[in-house]
Structure formats: C-alpha cells, structure tokens
Amino acid sequence: MSTIKVDTIKNRAGTATITTADVTNAPAFEAQVTSNQTISDNTATKVTFDNEIFDTDGKYDHSTNYRFTPTVAGKYFVYASIAVSAQADAQLQNMYAIIRKNGGTDNIKLTHFNFAGNNARFATGYVSGVITLDSDDYVEAFVQCADSSGSAIVQQDNYSTFGAYKLIGV
C-alpha cells in the first residue's frame, strides 16, 4: 500500500487547498496461481488465484471464491495476466482473458487472441481497465480457450496474476 503524506498543497494563487491528508490507493491486492489449473475446452472458467502476493485490507478471497470485494466505493484499476498452454504444439486455437463484475456473464473487460489456423502451444492474455465499484461489488478473472486437445492449462506462479488497486483523485 502506498501512502502519500501531504502537509500543505497550494493552488496557483498560493492559497492552501489541502492542509493535512493521508492519501492511499487501497484497498489493493495481487494474487497468483500456485498450481496449474486444467480448464474445460472453450468454456469461460474462473481462474483460481489462490496465493496472495499482497492484500492491504484483506479484501481478496484467495481460498473459496477467488474474488476481490473492496467494500470501498470508487474507481479501481483491475488487471489480469493469464498464461495458458496446450498439451502439445499447434493445438491452442484461441484464448480470451476476461474480467467480470458481480458474478454476471457480461464481460466487463476482455481480450481475445485468435491464432487463425496458425495454432500455438502457449499464450498469455493481458486484460485491464478502470472499473467503478460500489461497496458491495466484486470482480473475478476468467479464461476461455479453444484447444484441439480439449484441455488447456492455466500456468502457475508469475505466469498468471490478478490484481487491483483504488485510484486516487478520480
């Protein structure tokens, strides 16, 4: 968590506009996948980010729901990096990295890679954006892949991460 300590901020006219403040971009978290996760073919699947790198306010559920519920209304920068691999070369046909809000099926943020007949074995989807969250909203990360072998794998550790932090001043 970053805290900016401010004693006095003056505008162009020299008038103090803030005299004392602690400004933080929390709640914030980042999590990783601790073991490879096999996913169903061409089905949006929630990624089990079960290892917290940090969680400033205990708002990320890393053991059951794998979701971030900040409980503080505001705008949040939410991001996910999801790496997938096929069982063998040239089997990964396409992939989606998805961020969803409140358990819905609407994709709030989405990236898509289609390998168009030049299938891959490994790909990483990056998805991010600013999402407005109320005090009871939550976000989750999903992945969807078409794999000619039928079972792609989400890669563990630094290959796949999910995180968010509250934006200051918006």
What is the per-residue pLDDT across 113-163, written as a single tens digit (0 to 9) for each?
Answer: 999 889 999 999 999 999 999 999 999 999 999 999 878 999 999 999 999
Q: What is the DSSP string of 67-134?
A: EE---S-EEEEEEEEEEEE-SSTT-EEEEEEEEEETT-SSEEEEEEEE-TTS-BSEEEEEEEEEEEE-
Please tell me the pTM assigned to this model.
0.86
Task: List the domains of the chain with CATH numbers.
Answer: 26-166 (2.60.120.40)
| 21, pLDDT greater than 90 | no
